[in-house]
Every structure is written in C-alpha cells, then in structure tokens.
C-alpha cells in the first residue's frame, strides 16, 4: 500500500493504473476510520481492481463555531485498517496541498437541495463539501466513488454535482453501519461521555419508529414527525436540530409523485451533533 501526500503524484499513479486497464474505486474520508468506513472500503475492494482512500479533514466545510480543531485523528490506526482491508493507495494531503496560497475557487450549488435539513443550520457546509470533493475527483480520477447513506443529504448533493458538472465517476451509496444498540457509526461518537453515549440511542430509536410508521402508511407525514419528536424529547440530554420527512431526490416536501422518502434527524446529545436517517421506497 502506498501513502502519497501530493495531488500530482496521486494523479500520476491513478492515471498509470487506468492506462494499464485497471478499474479504480475511491473512498473519500476525513479519517478516524470506523466500521462504517470499512464497509465502504470493502465494497470498493470487491468491485474494483484498485482502491484509493483519501484522508483529509477538510477545513472549508466547518463553520468557525464548529469542531474542526478537536475533530478526532488517528492516522496510524487508519492506515492499518486500510492496509488490512486491501487498499492500494492512501492520499493523505496537508491543508496547504489542498488549499495553496491564493486559492480562490469554491463550488456553490443553487436550489433547495443544499438549503434543507443540515443546510439550514450549516449554511456554508455544503459549499465546502462540494469544493473538496470536486478537487478529490480530479486528483483521483476513479470509476466508482463510495459514500455512506448516513450522510444522505451529502450523498444527494454529490450525486447532483457529478451530474451537473459531468464528472465521469459513478457515485455509489452504501448502507448505514450501526452499533449493536442501533446507534449509527460516526467519528463524532467518540466525543460522547458515558452518559451521553447511553442517551444517544434515542436518535436511532426515533429513526426506527419513524421508519416502521412510514411502512405501515397509516399516519400522515406530520403525525410521524410528531411521534419522532416526542421520542427524542423524552431524553433530557437530547436537543433537536431537525426532524423531517422529505422527498429523497429533492429534499423538499413530499408530493404524490415522490418515489422515495427520506426521514432524517439531527440531534445534539450534549454538545455533539449526531445525524441519522431512514430511506423508504413508496409503493
């Protein structure tokens, strides 16, 4: 397994593989890898000849009041996981490699898709995400790129960006990986104290309840959202950012033509913001 710090060398290596006829899978990450990331890596290794993982905590997707400085890092553990999983190359750049002096370009997506859900409380977040992911897609010209469905809005936005800007990479969404008690795997789970970790299961409990009620199709969307609200509000350590059920494709209000729905929540457990969701195809 190679570990490369520069964009130019990474591009050169990936292009050499492409010229040799290899298919390339790519898993962009911010590091502190867990079983959720490993599931993406495993899919890539199974479906491609070569797999590249990027590890970069992208500063442009963090607002000044957010957790950039304390975001967890453990490159030794990350590289070991990648090695054991069969990764061929880790792209591990520093900030100045990704954002050199006089860097002046950002990607901002218009429309509702970036303004709903997390976009309401994190208005600059998805511009940072789109900019860094676009850069990474140019640095790692892959055939397939793998993203977790836990970040459902991010997945929808990146899929839209790839379509809009004619990237040739195929975006593949992979299932949410959960702890035994149901909590969705997240690097930010490491922030939780013992009491907060116990309280955090209320997030997945609300998601599972919402999914079950939506499958039964007996209650209105508003009634299901209210039920999910009530569950989360029963936990004293939980503070709701949002609980919504929307059209998966547009992230806007469900209509008669909606094919798939997204039930999504963002909840603060103490100071830690956790997200989770369910996706349901409508009959």
Q: List, by residue number, the catalytic residues.
A: 37
CA dihedral 126, 129, 132, 134 (to 10 degrees): -80
Return the axis-axis angle of helices 7-19 and 125-139, rounded to nearest 10°.
50
Q: How far is CA 231 from the centre of its chain?
A: 25
Cα Rg for the chain, rounded, in angstroms? 19
CB burial of residue 127 (10 Å; 0-12, 13-18, 19+): middle
Instruction: Give the separation between CA 51 and CA 90, rounded to whole angstroms.
Output: 9
Contact (CB, 8 A) for 240 and 114: no
Contact (CB, 8 A) for 222 and 244: no
């Amino acid at each position: 397994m190679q570990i490369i710090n520069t964009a130019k060398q990474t591009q050169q290596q990936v292009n050499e593989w492409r010229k040799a006829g290899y298919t390339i899978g790519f898993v962009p990450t911010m590091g502190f890898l867990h079983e959720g990331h490993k599931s993406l890596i495993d899919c890539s290794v199974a479906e491609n000849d070569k797999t590249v993982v990027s590890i970069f905590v992208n500063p442009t997707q963090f607002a000044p009041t957010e957790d950039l400085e304390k975001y967890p890092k453990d490159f030794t553990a990350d590289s070991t996981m990648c090695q054991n999983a069969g990764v061929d190359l880790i792209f591990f750049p520093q900030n100045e490699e990704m954002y050199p002096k006089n860097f002046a370009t950002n990607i901002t997506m218009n429309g509702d898709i970036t303004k709903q859900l997390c976009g309401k409380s994190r208005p600059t977040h998805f511009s940072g995400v789109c900019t860094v992911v676009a850069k990474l897609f140019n640095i790692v010209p892959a055939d397939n790129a793998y993203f977790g469905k836990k970040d459902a809005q991010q997945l929808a936005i990146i899929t839209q960006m790839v379509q809009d800007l004619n990237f040739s990479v195929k975006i593949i969404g992979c299932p949410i990986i959960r702890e035994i008690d149901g909590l969705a795997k997240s690097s930010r789970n490491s922030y939780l104290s013992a009491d907060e970790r116990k309280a955090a299961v209320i997030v997945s409990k609300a998601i599972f309840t919402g999914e079950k009620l939506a499958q039964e199709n007996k209650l209105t969307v508003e009634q299901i959202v209210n039920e999910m609200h009530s569950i989360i509000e029963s936990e004293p350590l939980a503070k709701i950012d949002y609980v919504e059920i929307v059209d998966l494709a547009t992230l806007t209000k469900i209509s008669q033509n909606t094919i798939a729905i997204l039930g999504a929540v963002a909840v603060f457990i103490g100071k830690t913001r956790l997200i989770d969701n369910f996706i349901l195809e409508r009959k």
